[in-house]
């Protein structure tokens, strides 16, 4: 764990309230299938869920926007660690951060063989990193959960080096609002509003892309109905509905037609 500690110490503020996911926690849950990378990947091949619906039209842009020379990265709100392995393969060091300690422990356990990964329990609006200490931030489906979205973007700009990269995704209205503490505080963002928000925080937008269109929305409704009525996970073939989005006109998709569900943005710290 020496490399983890040394590298973490170079970027994480001393006295921070964020805590590493303890190795003892990983060991205590090591026998669970959910903690094995192969079992987790198999689950997402056989079960239709949010991850399955993002594959056809969103993941391509996330990978393109990230690129392959990431330096020191923070995946803020990493959840189950969908991009953790990719980040570890293309970065000098990766900080996986999430508010949910149990989810973070599972993510760390699944990637226990990665020697350039540290897991931190943190809140997205209380980032524990030093000023100008990171090269890349991945911030997927988090901004809509925060009361102070502008403040969160300013804090991300603070921790990035000049010219540092932010890859961000947010939902596009209409969407859900959830009064739960960590639920959605707003339905989502329209492109113009999000670009102005980024600019005010000190970012220059480089690329934008819409993703997950009307067939993805349809598949999402099917999955929610299936889970609500049958109370079991939806089978993988329901997720195939979202692949029909690929047959929609590509130019019109990127003009915001076909009811996009998601917006992916690449921005650079000015």
Three-state secondary structure readout of 62-78: HHHHHCCCCCEEEEECC
Burial class of residue 12 (count of CB atoms within 10 Å of its CB; 0-12, 13-18, 19+): buried
Q: Are strands 134-140 and 160-171 parallel, antiparallel or unpaired?
A: parallel
pLDDT attached to residue 132:
97
pLDDT attached to residue 11:
83
Question: What are the backbone angles phi and psi of residue 13, rounded to the nearest 5°?
Answer: -60, 140
First to last CA, the chain: 35
Separation between Cα atoms, residue 240 and residue 181, nearest integer Å: 32
**In the numeric block, which tokens belong to residue 80?**
């189950």
Output the pTM of the full model: 0.90
Rg (CA), the chain: 18
Integer CA distances (angstroms), 259 to 52, 59, 223, 255, in order? 18, 18, 18, 11
**In the numeric block, which tokens belong to residue 24?**
């003892």
pLDDT along the chain (270 residues), means of 10: 50 57 45 83 91 95 97 96 97 96 92 94 92 98 95 97 98 86 88 98 98 97 94 94 98 98 97
Separation between Cα atoms, residue 230 and residue 91, nearest integer Å: 42
CB atoms within 10 A of CB 142: 22
């Amino acid at each position: 764990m020496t490399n983890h500690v040394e590298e973490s110490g170079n970027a994480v503020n001393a006295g921070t309230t964020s805590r590493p996911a303890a190795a003892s926690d990983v060991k205590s849950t090591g026998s669970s299938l959910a903690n094995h990378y192969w079992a987790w990947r198999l689950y997402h091949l056989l079960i239709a869920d949010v991850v399955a619906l993002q594959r056809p039209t969103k993941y391509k842009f996330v990978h393109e926007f990230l690129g392959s020379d990431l330096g020191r990265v923070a995946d803020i709100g990493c959840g189950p660690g969908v991009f953790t392995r990719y980040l570890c393969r293309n970065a000098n060091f990766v900080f996986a951060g999430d508010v949910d300690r149990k989810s973070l422990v599972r993510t760390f356990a699944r990637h226990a063989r990665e020697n350039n990964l540290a897991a931190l329990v943190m809140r997205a609006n209380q980032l524990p990193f030093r000023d100008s200490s990171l090269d890349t931030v991945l911030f997927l489906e988090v901004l809509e959960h925060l009361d102070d979205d502008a403040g969160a973007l300013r804090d991300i700009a603070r921790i990035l080096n000049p010219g540092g990269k932010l890859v961000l995704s947010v939902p596009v209205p209409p969407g859900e609002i959830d009064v739960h503490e960590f639920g959605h505080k707003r339905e989502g963002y329209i492109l113009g509003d999000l670009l102005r928000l980024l600019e005010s925080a000190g970012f220059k937008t480089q690329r934008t892309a819409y993703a997950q269109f009307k067939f993805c929305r349809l598949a999402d409704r099917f999955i929610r109905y299936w889970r609500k009525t049958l109370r079991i996970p939806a089978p993988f073939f329901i997720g195939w509905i979202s692949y029909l989005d690929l047959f929609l006109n590509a130019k019109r998709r990127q003009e915001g037609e076909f009811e996009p569900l998601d917006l992916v943005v690449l921005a650079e710290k000015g």
